[in-house]
């Protein structure tokens, strides 16, 4: 994805945050002290919602008051609390597990004979698939009632599986053949992002965008990833259950720039080939990109108390992904 398109996504997110500010947090209500007791802005699964009316059998308002660790953030937070708003606890730390699997493209492939610079023609990589297991810690803060900034840090372990097509002039029999190849990699990931969120009564909207960089042991350059994900959901509640839940439907755009290096053992092609070629492996480099950048999402969260929220999400179509995690807010 080009830099211009990425910038456009972020601009749209910030533009929408301005609209959300006017809808959820009108400045004139701060400046002139209008009556606000019937309009409550609260956090639901870390999303602010005005005049909340969950679907289901609502519970009685909690008697316990959950106070933030500090009252500087979000900006205008103290004034809005004094006027009857109940804001999200402003800071949070979460741990998440992510599994992701999708088809990928191999572009600009270069295959060499061992460590030499001699290029080998006719080698193909068919049906490559990338699968990742990621553990991520996220720290976030509500800077404004509708705008959240966060940073992420985690560890990634993954592999790419593909079938390598070997031309006949590299095989002992002279016939083309297919060889399975597996590229395993590990590394650390870090990045930052913003959430624009808000809603009314039982509905809410969340728009997330983030950049991440991952340093892995099969590439000299870090993997650069960009994510843009809009979601819309409903709030549910039942007096027989503890807490309050959400269910959402959304979509995710994910694109990454990745370059991999690896090798294929010549003995895997034919036991006699190392002696014939005089090398133990064929080296290769390739640029990797996703086949499909968009997929669909369905997920939900459960807020046991304003301090503790647990969530799960499933992605499908073009990319399979599973996310589960927990958030502590303070």
DSSP single-letter state for residue 175? -
Q: Where do runs of H (alpha helix) occur along 25-172? A: 27-32, 77-82
| Distance in angstroms (rounded) separating the CA atoms of residues 52 and 200 | 6
Give me 47's structure tokens. 């999303």
For residue 81, the model assigns a pLDDT of: 65
Instruction: Return averaged pLDDT per consecutive 10 residues of the chain, 330 residues in all.
Output: 45 42 38 32 52 70 68 80 71 98 95 78 92 98 93 98 88 82 95 92 93 94 96 92 93 96 87 85 93 98 95 97 97
Enclosing H/E stretch for 159? strand 147-166
Q: Which residues contact 303 (CB under 8 A, 6 or more apart)?
A: 43, 44, 45, 243, 244, 245, 246, 309
Written as six digits, the tokens of 93 are: 């730390």
pTM here? 0.82
Alpha-carbon distance 249 to 300, whole Å?
A: 9
How far apart CA 36 and CA 313 sit, in angstroms, is 35
**From CA 252, how far away is CA 264, in angstroms rounded?**
35
Residue 135, CA distances (Å) to 15, 141, 142, 182, 310 in order: 31, 20, 23, 22, 16
Predicted pLDDT at 291? 96
Round to whole Å and give the CA distance between 16 and 231.
13
Domain ranges of the chain: 91-329
pLDDT confidence of residue 61:
59
Q: From the centroid of its chain, how far is CA 250? A: 13
Whether 80 and 39 have beta carbons less than 8 Å apart is answered as: no
Closest CA to 265 of 284, 243, 277, 282: 282
What SS3 state is found at 291?
A: coil
Length of the chain: 330
How far is the C-alpha of 54 from the C-alpha of 266, rounded, in Å?
63
CATH architecture of the domain with range 91-329: Beta Barrel (2.40)
DSSP 88: P
Least Cα distance to 321 among 299, 300, 303 occurs for 299
- C-alpha–C-alpha distance, residues 303 and 45, integer Å: 6
> How many other C-beta atoms lie within 10 A of the C-beta of residue 270?
18
Q: Does residue 183 contact residue 23 with C-beta atoms inside 8 Å?
A: no
Q: Hey, how many other C-beta atoms are within 10 angstroms of the C-beta on 110? A: 14
């Amino acid at each position: 994805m080009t830099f211009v398109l990425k910038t456009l996504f972020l601009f749209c997110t910030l533009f929408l945050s301005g609209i959300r500010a006017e809808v959820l947090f009108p400045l004139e209500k701060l400046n002139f002290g209008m009556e606000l007791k019937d309009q409550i802005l609260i956090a639901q699964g870390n999303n602010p919602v005005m005049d909340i009316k969950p679907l289901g059998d609502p519970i009685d308002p909690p008697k316990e008051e959950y106070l933030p660790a500090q009252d500087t953030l979000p900006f205008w937070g103290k004034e809005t609390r004094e006027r009857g708003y109940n804001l999200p606890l402003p800071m949070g730390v979460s741990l998440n597990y992510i599994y992701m699997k999708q088809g990928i493209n191999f572009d600009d492939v270069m295959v060499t004979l061992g460590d030499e610079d001699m290029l080998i023609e006719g080698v193909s990589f068919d049906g490559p698939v990338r699968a990742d297991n990621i553990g991520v810690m996220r720290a976030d803060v509500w800077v404004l009632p509708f705008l959240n900034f966060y940073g992420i840090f985690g560890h990634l372990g993954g592999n790419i599986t593909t079938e390598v097509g070997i031309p006949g002039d590299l095989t002992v029999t002279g016939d083309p053949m297919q060889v399975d190849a597996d590229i395993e990699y590990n590394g650390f990931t870090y990045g930052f992002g913003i959430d624009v969120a808000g809603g009314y009564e039982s509905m809410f909207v969340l728009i997330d965008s983030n950049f991440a960089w991952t340093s892995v042991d099969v590439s000299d350059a870090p993997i650069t990833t960009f994510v843009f994900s809009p979601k819309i959901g409903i709030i549910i509640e039942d007096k027989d259950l503890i807490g309050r839940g959400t269910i959402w439907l959304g979509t995710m755009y994910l694109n990454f720039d990745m370059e991999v290096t690896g090798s294929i053992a010549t003995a895997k092609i034919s036991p006699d080939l190392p002696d014939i070629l005089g090398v133990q492996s064929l080296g290769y480099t390739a640029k990797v990109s996703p086949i499909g950048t968009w997929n669909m999402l369905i997920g939900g969260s459960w807020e046991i108390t304003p301090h503790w929220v647990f969530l799960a999400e499933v992605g499908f179509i073009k990319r399979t992904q599973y996310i589960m995690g927990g958030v502590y807010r303070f």
